[in-house]
Amino acid sequence: MKINRTDTLKADQGAAYVEFLMAFIPFFIMFLGMVQMCLMYAGDLVVQHAASRAARAAVVVLDDDPQYYDGAERRRIDVSGSSSDGALGAVIALFSGGGGGGGGGGASGGPRFSAIRSAASLPLASISPSLRQLMRSDSVMTAIGSPETRAATGVFMYNDSAMGVTFPTAPGATSYRETFDHGDQVTTRVTYLFHCGVPLVNRMMCRSYGAVGPSEVRDELERGGASGTLGGALGSYFKGMRAEATMPLQSAHYRYPSE
């Protein structure tokens, strides 16, 4: 039987498309994974920088003049107070139709603690997600976002719910302290929920808010002044990041005129 060469070429054309798809899909997933890994690596560096800033602020703020902190006691951290900042969960729930719930209230902490949290929050604004990123992750461009929208959401909303600042008794310790003495080494730990926004691979590399682990991450967020929850961020995935820094307390061995 004579085989027509033209018919043979037409039969092979479909196989070329199948081979292309078989090679392209794994390569494309690998590309997305590399983008997400790069973003996570950058986020880890920023969290470490935030811990350094928090430690630098803590060693000065802890023993500073009480008149600048509403008369708060020197060398003591008060995490029982509260600020008037709004919670991100309620905002997300409002814009996304109300599903999933979100925590109310503001970030907790007295004046000295709030000052230290503010120092840690500023660099984290560069990696915080915008509201659009929290509500939809449909492209790499959306995942990267713009500096303006990231900073605005981070400073005013996201970091209140996604960042915790704690003071372990020693580097790597799981116990915490609220009082300090002259000459103490102050260890400051920043715990942060990094938003994974690259579509498809974020489900493989990160976890939903309710499944973020280890459990110490959620505990440190609550202990470290995080307000409310991110329950309204339906479909979002996060990576718990922690970093710490240790510096000697800059204490004054005298009483301030205001005391």
What residues contact 50, with CB distance under 8 A and at least 6 apart? 120, 121, 122, 123, 124, 163, 190, 192, 243
Note the pLDDT of residue 84: 38
First CA to last CA distance, the chain: 107
Note the pLDDT of residue 57: 96
Identity (one letter) of the amino acid at 182?
A: H
Q: By mean pLDDT, which of 6-20, 93-107, 236-250 is the weakest?
A: 93-107
What would the mean pLDDT of 208-216 be, rounded to a whole number? 70
Note the pLDDT of residue 85: 40
What would the mean pLDDT of 145-163 be, rounded to a whole number? 76
Note the pLDDT of residue 13: 64
Task: Give the Å distances, CA to CA, from 159 to 47, 193, 216, 240, 248.
Answer: 12, 9, 18, 13, 26
- Tally of residues, the chain: 259
Note the pLDDT of residue 17: 75
Domain boundaries along the sequence of the chain: 5-248
List pLDDT tens digits, range 85-144.
Answer: 444 444 444 344 444 333 333 445 799 999 999 999 999 988 988 877 777 666 777 777
Task: Render the chain in DSSP notation, one character per residue.
Answer: -PPPHHHHHHHHHHHHHHHHHHHHHHHHHHHHHHHHHHHHHHHHHHHHHHHHHHHHHHHHHTTS-GGGGTTPPTTB---S-B--PPPHHHHHHHHTTSTT----S--B--HHHHHHHHHHHHHHTTTPPPHHHHH---SHHHHH--HHHHHHHIIIIIHHHHEEEE-BSSTT-S-B-SB--TT-EEEEEEEEEEEE-STTTHHHHSEEGGG-SSHHHHHHHHHTT--S--TT-TT-EEEEEEEEEEEE----SS--TT-
